[in-house]
């Protein structure tokens, strides 16, 4: 009888089936269906297991049936352990019999060229017509440790006598990575809950499985490995579901690509690219991004060992050790992760010091010294000392560094277990030179243990940033797109263009955004008159779509303060352009708006996730500093303010902008994001660099709109 009654929503027949048929099973050596049948029995799957093969009467000691139609009941799940060319007919047979779900391991589909793509398209057609749920093809399959379901031929199943029932569920586009991660978690004694290798995603995608495990009560953490998406909208919806259910997602993303062709003309192309678009999406949904399977396991298993929702409320960390050197090194490692190690408050120091050894340090890091455990008198004080430290003010997390102690290890384990359940802050344990049996004893209590302090500090950095992401307000808002007369500025039907600064300035003004006053001059005398109109001092810029890097071409002049200088500069700019074989459309005469700070504000349409808006430190150092962050557009002012706050510069210099400047900038970004969200072009980049911030005002000073064809 199946004991696990947790719901995986619509995918329950696939992930928690009440009965399983294994089609193509035999006792022949190497037969994957026979191996799967053996695994199902080995790991205690309690539902009916029905091998299907017309050539066998028994498989793995179980009765074998000639066809799906001959089974004594309708299985929830069919494992199709057959070659690729036999899959479609059997999938139809299963659907006709009422089977609700299937796993197809075989390769030879879309990954193998046109014929394989046609075969895979047939599977998708069958699924869409019948509603049968398909995992695969070309996958390693599904494991659900909660019910002993092993719809998989994974080699790790040979290596273990039992499967630990964990609370981490993994969805992976790579069978190898999923097996490696699950096997390592198994070795560490904590295990996984559900492991899914999605394969070619003929019908069900990574997003479908994320949604399913998000609503599973037995899953507390979701690990994902992905290289590409079959549907960006589904992926966004799935991340939203995980957040709604309070399930942290830890993402290992492969295949970051280079930026597109817009890099040739705008800063944005060099700074954006696919990888930063994903970063923006992960920030919005509080996804923890990692860069290796080790890092993924560290974060997932540590989250699993904490209480639900037990995250740092900030980045201030307490470090305790049984040797001063370890604490010093871990302090350095914590700093590299953005964590802060501040001295313990005076009251906590005064209270804890009498409980420590004479050689101990009551600052932060805390050095208990080995004598705190090896001396019976001091060891008796250890629980009280831990309580004092756990109640200290201004601590957001605790890195507890243990080492050695052999015979005293069980006592220290008991103290640590009591500590982690009694404090509000998360406590991460590292234990170098771990005595034999300690790892297993800790895992039995649900405690994840690091063997290296740097990995614990790295993991805590991830948790602190994740908690901050959950608090921020950077969210794409759902609003009806406003009407803006784009085609008054760029003719309808334009699919490739470099829109000049004078047009961009008019466009921004029409949208109600503040722009430094400027006018286009057709000759030197007109330029002198316009300079008086916009107000001295002025900047002058040669305008031509053929030259976008005008400063490098010598087509920008600044701080011009009288009419004669305007006339001579106009003449000079036109001569320089002619020397390059370009006739200027005009000279842009612009009031020199002065400000203390410069921002880059930009937007582009991403091929997967739609319009993205970005902000960064602007001016001439934009690419050198490379400090820019993106989000899906549009944002409200709160989200825009938090986007500014997520820049490296503002995190390090929180008082860089005055409250007034921060408010002005957030309002500008929010209104700009609403404008660009309605842009009519499939591919565009709209960059304003810089937006200058004065004491109580701001203005867009330079702008560029690039429209690209496919």
DSSP string, 7-75: --GGGHHHHS-S-EEEET--SSTT-HHHHHHHHHHHTT--S-EEEE-TT-SEETTEE-BSSGGGSSS--
Nearest in space to 706 (alpha carbons), one of 684, 676, 678, 679: 684
Higher pLDDT, 546 or 200: 200
Which DSSP symbol is given to 354?
Answer: G
Instruction: Catalogue the E-assigned strands of 396-517.
Output: 397-403, 427-432, 449-450, 497-499
Structure tokens at 593: 């708006």
Residue 256 binned pLDDT confidence (cut-offs 50, 70, 90) = low
Residues recorded for the chain: 710
Which H or E run contains 599? Answer: strand 597-606
Two tokens, residue 425: 């802050």
Give the pLDDT confidence of 542-553 residue by residue, as tens digits: 999 888 778 889
- pLDDT of 354 reads 96
Return mean pLDDT, the chain: 93
Q: How many CA atoms lie within 13 A of 549 on its CB side?
A: 8
3-class DSSP state of 337: coil
Overall average pLDDT of the 526-542 stretch: 96
**Which of 347, 340, 345, 407 has the alpha carbon at shortest distance from 379?**
407
Classify burial at 402, counting beta carbons within 10 Å of its beta carbon; exposed 0-12, middle 13-18, buried 19 or more: buried
pLDDT tens digits, one per residue of 84-123: 999 999 999 999 999 999 999 999 999 999 999 999 999 9
> What is the phi-psi region of residue 473: left when phi exceeds 0, alpha when psi lies from -120 to 50, beta otherwise?
alpha
Pairing of strands 77-80, 141-144: unpaired
Looking at 498-621, list the stretches that DSSP marks H as alpha helix, in order from N- to C-terminal side.
Answer: 501-510, 524-534, 563-579
For 435, list phi and psi in degrees, rounded to 5.
-60, 150
Q: How far apart are CA 668 and CA 666, in angstroms?
A: 5
Whether the Cβ atoms of residue 663 and residue 649 lie closer than 8 Å to each other: no
| Buried residues in 173-202 as b, exposed as e (16+ CB within 10 A) | bbbebbbbbbbbbbebbbbbbbbbbbbbbb
DSSP bridge pairs for 542: 587
Banded model confidence at residue 40, pLDDT cuts 50, 70, 90: very high
Phi-psi region of 31 (alpha: psi -120 to 50; beta: other; left: phi over 0): beta
How far, in Å, CA of 308 to CA of 426, rounded?
Answer: 11
- β-bridge partners, 603: 613, 686
Q: Which single residue is written with the structure tokens 């089977």? A: 99
Q: Which of 411-420, 472-481, 605-614 shows the lowest per-residue confidence on average (mean pLDDT)?
A: 472-481
Contact in structure between 251 and 290 (CB atoms under 8 Å): yes
CB 25 within 8 A of CB 81: yes
What pLDDT, on a 0 to 100 scale, did the predictor assign at position 441? 96
Half-sphere exposure (Cβ direction) of 194: Cα atoms closer than 13 Å = 30
Report how far apart the first and last C-alpha atoms of the chain are (Å, whole number). 57
- Whether this model's pTM surpasses 0.85: yes
Q: DSSP string spanning 490-534?
A: S-TT--SEEE-HHHHHHHHHHTT--B--EEEESSHHHHHHHHHHH
Distance CA 689, CA 628 (A): 12
Torsion region of 187: left, alpha or beta (phi above 0 gives left; psi -120 to 50 gives alpha): alpha
Please give the average per-residue pLDDT across 221-235, as a whole number.
93
List all residues 6 or more positions away from 675 whose beta carbon is below 8 Å from its beta carbon: 482, 484, 511, 513
Tokens of 370: 């080995």
pLDDT (0 to 100) of residue 504: 95
Asked whether the predicted pLDDT for residue 222 surpasses 50, the reply is yes
> What does the pLDDT average to over 559-575?
96
Domains observed in the chain? 9-248+286-304 (3.40.50.720), 307-471 (3.40.50.261), 517-591 (3.30.1490.20), 597-707 (3.30.470.20)
**3-class secondary-structure state, position 394:** coil
């Amino acid at each position: 009888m199946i004991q696990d009654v947790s719901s995986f929503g619509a995918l329950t027949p696939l992930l928690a089936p009440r009965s399983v048929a294994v089609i193509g099973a035999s006792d022949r050596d190497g037969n994957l269906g026979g191996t799967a049948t053996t695994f199902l029995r080995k790991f205690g799957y309690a539902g009916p297991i029905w091998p299907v093969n017309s050539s066998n009467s028994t498989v793995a000691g179980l009765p074998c049936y000639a066809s799906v139609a001959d089974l004594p009941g309708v299985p929830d799940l069919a494992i199709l352990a057959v070659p690729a060319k036999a899959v479609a007919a059997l999938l139809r047979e299963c659907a006709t019999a009422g089977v609700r779900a299937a796993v197809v391991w075989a390769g030879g589909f879309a990954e193998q060229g046109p014929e394989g793509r046609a075969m895979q398209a047939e599977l998708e057609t069958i699924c869409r017509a019948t509603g049968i749920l398909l995992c695969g093809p070309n996958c390693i399959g599904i494991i659900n440790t909660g019910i002993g379901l092993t719809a998989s031929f994974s080699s790790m199943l040979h290596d273990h006598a039992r499967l630990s029932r964990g609370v981490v569920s993994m969805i992976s586009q790579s069978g190898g990575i999923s097996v490696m991660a699950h096997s390592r978690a198994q070795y560490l004694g904590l295990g996984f809950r559900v492991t899914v290798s999605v394969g070619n995603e003929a019908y069900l995608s990574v997003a479908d499985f994320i949604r399913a495990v998000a609503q599973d009560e037995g899953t507390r953490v979701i690990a994902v490995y992905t290289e590409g998406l079959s549907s960006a909208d589904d992926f966004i919806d799935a991340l939203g579901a995980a957040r709604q259910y309070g399930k942290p997602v830890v993402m290992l993303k492969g295949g970051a690509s280079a930026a597109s062709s817009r890099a040739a003309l705008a800063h944005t192309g060099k700074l954006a690219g696919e990888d930063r678009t994903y970063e923006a999406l992960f920030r919005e949904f509080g996804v923890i991004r990692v860069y290796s399977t080790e890092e993924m396991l560290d974060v997932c298993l540590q989250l699993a060992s904490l209480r639900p929702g037990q995250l740092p409320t900030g980045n201030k960390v307490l470090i305790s050790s049984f040797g001063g050197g370890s604490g010093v090194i871990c302090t350095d490692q914590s700093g590299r992760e953005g964590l802060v190690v501040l001295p313990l408050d005076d009251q906590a120091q005064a209270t804890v010091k009498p409980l420590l050894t004479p050689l101990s340090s009551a600052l932060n890091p805390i050095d208990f010294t080995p004598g705190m455990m090896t001396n019976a008198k001091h060891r008796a004080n250890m629980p009280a000392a831990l309580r004092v430290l756990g109640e200290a003010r201004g601590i957001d997390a605790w890195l507890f560094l243990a080492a050695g102690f052999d015979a005293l290890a069980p006592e220290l384990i008991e103290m640590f277990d009591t500590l982690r359940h009694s404090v509000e802050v998360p406590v991460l344990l590292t234990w170098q030179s771990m005595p034999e049996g300690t790892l297993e004893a800790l895992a039995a209590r649900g405690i994840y243990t690091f063997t290296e302090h740097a990995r614990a500090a790295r993991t805590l950095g991830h948790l602190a940033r994740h908690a901050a992401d959950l608090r921020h307000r950077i969210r794409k808002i759902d609003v009806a797109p406003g009407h803006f007369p784009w085609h008054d500025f760029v003719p309808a039907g334009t699919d490739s263009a470099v829109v000049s600064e004078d047009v961009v300035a008019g466009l921004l003004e029409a949208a109600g955004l503040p722009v430094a006053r400027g006018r286009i001059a057709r000759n030197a005398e007109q330029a002198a008159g316009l300079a008086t109109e916009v107000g001295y001092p002025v900047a002058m810029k040669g305008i031509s779509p053929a030259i976008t890097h005008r400063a490098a071409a010598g087509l920008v002049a600044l701080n011009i303060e009288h009419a004669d200088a305007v006339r001579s500069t106009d003449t000079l700019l036109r001569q320089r352009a002619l020397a390059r074989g370009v006739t200027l459309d005009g000279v842009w005469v612009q009031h020199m708006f002065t400000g203390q700070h410069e921002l880059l504000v930009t937007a582009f349409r991403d091929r997967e996730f739609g319009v993205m808006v970005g902000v960064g430190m602007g001016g001439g150092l934009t690419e050198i500093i490379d400090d820019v962050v993106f989000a899906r557009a549009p944002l409200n002012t709160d989200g825009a303010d938090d986007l500014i706050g997520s820049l490296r510069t503002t995190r390090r210099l929180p008082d860089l902008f005055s409250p007034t400047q921060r408010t002005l900038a957030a309002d500008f970004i929010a209104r700009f994001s609403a404008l660009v969200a309605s842009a009519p072009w499939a591919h565009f980049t709209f960059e304003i660099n810089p937006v200058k911030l004065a004491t109580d005002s701001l203005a867009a000073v330079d702008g560029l709109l690039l429209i690209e064809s496919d």
